[in-house]
A and B are shown apart, each in its own frame.
Chain A
Amino acid sequence: MTSPPDPFDQIRERISGYILSESTFRGEISFAVGAESIVECCSLLKNTLGFTYLVDVTVVDYLTVKFPRYEVVYLLHRFGENYEENLRIRLKVALEQDDPAIDSVTPVWSGANWLEREAYDMFGITFRGHPDPRRILMPEDYDQFPLRKDFDVRDRESSKRSFERALDEGLE
């Protein structure tokens, strides 16, 4: 399927200004990108290089394993001409532990809306400029971020508080 000129070379060349590093594992290519240029890089990838389909946005919390602590992962897909190419790349953005925030890519792909909301809900990453920055799976008044590695699974206090509040509201 890969024609003689490697499609990744073209991509690499066009977004070289944004790439900080690159890695490949099991044939999947990942580019590390700076947090400040993520929207620029994504619009370039979408509008010029044809990555029209955003597959996934997610976060990995490396707590003590790696520094900086958070990594926001974007998975992009290019259909190619006649939907035959089907190329995938991954963008990774490292974020600091204190007040992790990044610009939202919802202006580029509206499908990022819920994916970023989930990332906020689970990891507490703030997506600047998000049109609807609410929690999505957890109760709206919940004050923890459950998928963080330092989340205490045995601490039921916050869930209990939400539950009790919901009960009180129901009784009114």
Chain B
Amino acid sequence: MERVEIVTEELGTEPDGTRKHTMMLNMGPQHPSTHGVLRVVLYLDGEKVKEAVPHIGYLHRGIEKLCEDITYQKCLPYTDRMDYLASICNNIGFILAVEKLLGIEDEIPERAKVAEVIMFELGRIESHLIGIGANAMDLGAMTAFLFCFKERERIYEILEMVCGARLTTSYPRVGGLPMDLPEDFSDTIRNFLNIFPKTLNEIDSLLTRNKIWIDRTKGVAVISKEQAIDLGITGPILRGSGVPYDLRKAVPYLDYENYEFDIPVANEGDAYARYLCRMEEMRQSLRIIEQALDNLPDGPYIADLPDIVLPEKELVYTKMESLIRHFVLVYNGFETPPGEIYHAVENPKGELGYYIVSDGTGKPYRMRVRGPSFVNLQALPDMVKGGFVSDVVAAIGSIDIVLGEVDR
């Protein structure tokens, strides 16, 4: 409470002679609806927001700096810790960037690519569930949040089954998958595909025509198409403002051009439009997963590239040559051609780009992460200006930020 203070900026005089001032209100960094450690300083005229200034950096760990001193394989676990609600998507984005740098995209086996698409879309659903659920809970709809979390648990179980970890997946490897998919992979995913649409419909029936939800989100935190492009916003926020831009279609990776899916677009640019986009995107993700599962081929799961891929564990224990190769790869990493690449993927929250500058050694000379949440959060002051304090909560929830990625 002692952090609330009055800033003596005069706003005018009331009819009875009392003078009005703006009030500075500190929201966060410890506030349940700031989704982590975001601090927003609000300048208020009564309940109206005159100015909002976000302060970030409370979760800054210097991932870009850390990655300069370690080999490419060892950078992978750091990417988990950026957008930790969809760590699998960060992982795959990074792996694809390194594969592009090495120029080995064509050598990746089909099975690995299709599995990565499935995992990527599961990550998208997982992230959107939290995005919608947390947004709804901030506005008082606790039930929708519980429904979302229940489904997310199912996705975590699949992730655990495939890569052994629930949150920090560190899953694919440069060249493919670290191990073959588990035997009951297809059945588990099909089971999920059967159950999930029902819950999605339940969430839909709880929120989409809910009067309170509509009152709290429709016409709130509006951002126009021109503003959104000017600010460099991506993801559901940009699509909610009427721009059908999705990297899966625009600059396809992982053979996304072979899948049939639509890009949901809404024109209103408010929190409700973003919610609708996220809901529809989950349905489209299910379509993609279904197609991918039908086409999941057998065969190798990792590329046959001895200079890049670690040898099989069994060979490391039994063959001298494999042991040496394993040692060299872990110690020095694989050599990369000198050059620089930028590779972006359509993360659940927007464009996640990796800009890697290589000097020819096994460690990135510079690794820049273009996090979608970081750029999207820039829109917050524009979204909340002139609105009520309670709309700030709706706005932050609808941007769907993860501070791990904002601060990196």
Point out residues on A near B: beta carbons under 8 Å. 25-26, 28, 30, 52-56, 58, 60-61, 65, 73, 75, 79, 83, 86, 88, 90, 109-115, 118, 122, 135-139, 146-147, 151, 153
Contacts and interface: CB of A to CB of B under 8 A. Distances in A.
A137 B103 contact: no
A137 B340 contact: no
Contacts of A110: 230-231
Given A83-B243, A146-B65, A25 B230 contact: no
Contact of B368 (A56, A90, A135, A136): A56
B233 to A, nearest CB: 7
9 contacts: A55-B232, A55-B344, A61-B366, A75-B342, A110-B230, A114-B377, A138-B60, A146-B65, A151-B65
A90 B244 CA distance: 23
**4 shortest interchain CB distances as A-B pairs:** A111-B232, A137-B57, A25-B339, A86-B250
Interface string B342-363: 1010000001010101010000
A139 B58 CA distance: 9
A55 B366 CA distance: 18
Contacts of B60: 137-138
A83 B342 contact: no
B143 interface: no
The secondary-structure label for the interface of chain A is mixed
B213 interface: no
A104 to B, nearest CB: 15
Contacts of A60: 340, 357, 365-366
B65 A137 contact: no
Contacts of B353: 55-56, 75
A153 B65 contact: yes
A137 B407 contact: yes
A113 B62 contact: no
Interface residues of B, number: 39
Nearest to A58: B368
Contacts of B65: 146-147, 151, 153
Contact of B229 (A28, A53, A115): A53
A138 to B, nearest CB: 6
The secondary-structure label for the interface of chain B is mixed
Interface of B: 56-57, 60, 62, 64-65, 100-101, 103, 229-233, 243-245, 250-251, 339-342, 344, 351, 353, 355, 357, 359, 365-366, 368, 370, 374-375, 377-378, 407-408
Given A26-B341, A75-B342, A137-B57, A83 B232 contact: no
B366 A114 contact: no
A139 B245 CA distance: 35
Contacts of B351: 55
A12 B377 CA distance: 34
B57 A111 contact: no
B103 A146 contact: no
Contacts of A113: 378
A56 B407 CA distance: 16
B370 A56 contact: yes
B313 to A, nearest CB: 32
A122 B65 CA distance: 10
A55 B101 CA distance: 19
- The residue among A52, A60, A114, A151 with the most chain B CB atoms within 10 A of its own CB is A114
B245 A83 contact: yes
Contacts of A151: 65
Contacts of B344: 55
A61 B65 CA distance: 12
Contacts of A136: 56-57
Given A26-B100, A73-B355, A90-B342, A83 B374 contact: no
B232 A53 contact: yes
B232 A109 contact: yes
B231 A111 contact: yes
A7 to B, nearest CB: 14
A55 B344 CA distance: 10
